[in-house]
Structure 1
Amino acid sequence: MSLMRIQKPKTRKGKVALLEREPKVIENIKNVLILEGRKVSVTVKELLKDICTFKKPNCKTLSRNNDITPFEDQNPLEILAKKSDCHLFIFGSHSKKRPDNIVMGRVYDDQILDMIEFGVKQYKALKDFKNEKIDVNCKPCLVFNGDQWSKSEELRRIKSLFVDMFHVEDVESIRLQGIEHVISFTLTEDLTIMIRSYKILLKKSGLQTPRIELTEIGPSIDFSIRRTKIASKDLYKLAHKKPAELKVTKKKNVSRDALGNVNARVHIDKQVINKLQLRKMKGLKKTAEEKKTARQLKKAASKEN
């Protein structure tokens, strides 16, 4: 196993680059490494190119062919992902045994966490759809159709992998006009994954809410599941562990209503009003007659005792 040599940064720019790669409380957007095997078909080349179009600028493409077999030896792939600072990868290859082959996976702690191999059953490229496309870096709306996604642990991991692959960034709010792109994932009974891409068109409806129409913009892909290599439950749980700073701690006696207003309950000790220290004002001072009466009552009480 070959290890990458670790060098100390000699410039300020190099130090900043290394700090960007270190773990953070709020992680950066995951980059995707797109690379080709020693032999690639035209279909796989076009598919990788279309995925790169959707993932720009959060993707890195290697131009030369790579003699890599991920399921036999994953070490070269892990080294390339570490050098490129990518936590996701898509590897395309073609052979007589596995034609039009796509391998998708993700990396955790510089090691491959999950890896799924797909076969391309049907593909229609982005350029074959002669209509208006979406803008670059547009946040897609991911829709998963079918009740098969939760039938097994492998299918749940594939769904999670697609979310990681096509997710851009977390946002607290978004305007209606900002939702322009929909990616649909449909899982059929024979475990064929149908991926379709649509552009959202907002039409006038005569009401405050517009009428929505979908126009397919491509690409159109049908995947068959070939081989899978998923992480153990313990490693998968460790990879999804949230830092303590991001965990929401419940505060005692503090609650929120439906409108988001904060309601708090404060507990205080019982107050003795007679012993409160008030400001010494002339109007609050006892008169001479009140002082005399108080002294007489005090003397009478002492005689009785």
Structure 2
Amino acid sequence: MGRTYDHHIYDLVELGIENFKSMKSFSYDRKLAPQIGSKPFIAFIGEGFESVEELKHLKEVLLDLFRGEVVSNLNIAGLDRVYVCMALSSNRVFFTHCALRLKKSGTVVPRMELVEVGPSMDLLVRRHRLPDESLRKETMKKAPELIQKKVKNVSQDAVQGKVGRIYIPDQQVGEKALPNKSKGVKRERREAKMKVEAKRQKQDSTIPSDP
């Protein structure tokens, strides 16, 4: 199994198959059978897909093989199957095909259950050939019209989205002299004191004298 680029062999992976089970060997409700043209989930389980070179290569090939057409929007009702790849060892991967059963969860997002519909098998990685570095760089090139120009002081964040930075010069607040408001403060205190005294005199005048 491998990939091609510009009519040339890009890379190759030799796989052995063990413990094969066909779709006919699985019994399930036929209403759950995946529809033709539906988009699948692809789940890679195991640390080996991130650390073992052979499994990392196999992951890339399987993703290209099963991903289908790239779309920007997806209806959750059209997700009815998942390919599960589980790394059992450094050269053995359990591969199976499951249907998705959507159930009520009490929230907007439904609860999903996996129903194995086959086929399933163990994939043994025997030999693999990585692409040449020069060929890899050539395949990674982007068309000039697809390259986004870098905007100054603007970055992308996974949580906040687009984040911009604004330059603000030093305000030098500590060096600026504060205006002299001591006269106004004294006047306000004097007026407040006069109001308190006037209020007190008014209260004294309203108190009746003893007979």
TM-score when normalising by structure 1: 0.48
The secondary structure found in structure 2 opposite 1:235 is helix
Q: What is the match of residue 8 of structure 2? A: 111
The secondary structure found in structure 2 opposite 1:218 is strand
| Aligned residue pairs, count | 162
- Structure with the higher strand share, 1 or 2: 2
Deviation at 1:151, TM superposition (A): 2.3
Q: What is the match of residue 200 of structure 1? A: 100
Matched, 1:184 2:84: yes
Deviation at 1:260, TM superposition (A): 6.5
1:167 is aligned, of 63, 67, 70, to 67
Deviation at 1:157, TM superposition (A): 1.6
Spell out the pairing of 1:282-297 with structure 2 (5 A cutoff): none
Q: What is the match of residue 29 of structure 1? A: none
% identity of equivalent residues:
35
Q: Which amino acid letter does the alignment assign opposite residue 159 of structure 1?
A: K
Deviation at 1:129, TM superposition (A): 1.9
**Superposition RMSD in Å:** 2.5
Deviation at 1:262, TM superposition (A): 9.7
Kept in 2: contact 1:154–1:230 (CA 8 A): no
Kept in 2: contact 1:122–1:221 (CA 8 A): yes
CA 1:256 to 1:221, structure 2 compared with 1: closer, same or farther past 3 Å?
closer
Deviation at 1:155, TM superposition (A): 2.5
Deviation at 1:247, TM superposition (A): 2.0
Q: Which amino acid letter does the alignment assign opposite residue 20 of structure 2?
A: Y
Q: Distance in 1 between matches of 2:156 and 2:124?
A: 47
Deviation at 1:261, TM superposition (A): 8.1
Q: Structure 1 unaligned runs (5+)?
A: 1-103, 266-305
Q: What is the match of residue 130 of structure 1? A: 27
Q: Which amino acid letter does the alignment assign opposite residue 8 of structure 2?
A: Q
Matched, 1:250 2:150: yes
Q: Distance in 2 between matches of 1:260 and 1:126?
A: 44
The answer to which structure, 1 or 2, has the higher relative contact order (CA under 8 A, 6+ apart) is 2
1:141 is aligned, of 41, 66, 77, to 41
Q: Distance in 1 between matches of 2:105 and 2:127?
A: 47
Spell out the pairing of 1:47-66 with structure 2 (5 A cutoff): none
The 10-residue stretch of structure 1 (111-120 or 247-256) with the greater mean CA deviation from structure 2: 247-256
CA 1:213 to 1:254, structure 2 compared with 1: closer, same or farther past 3 Å?
same
The secondary structure found in structure 1 opposite 2:51 is coil
The secondary structure found in structure 2 opposite 1:224 is strand
Q: What is the match of residue 229 of structure 1? A: 129
The secondary structure found in structure 2 opposite 1:234 is helix
TM-score when normalising by structure 2: 0.68
Q: Which amino acid letter does the alignment assign opposite residue 145 of structure 1?
A: I
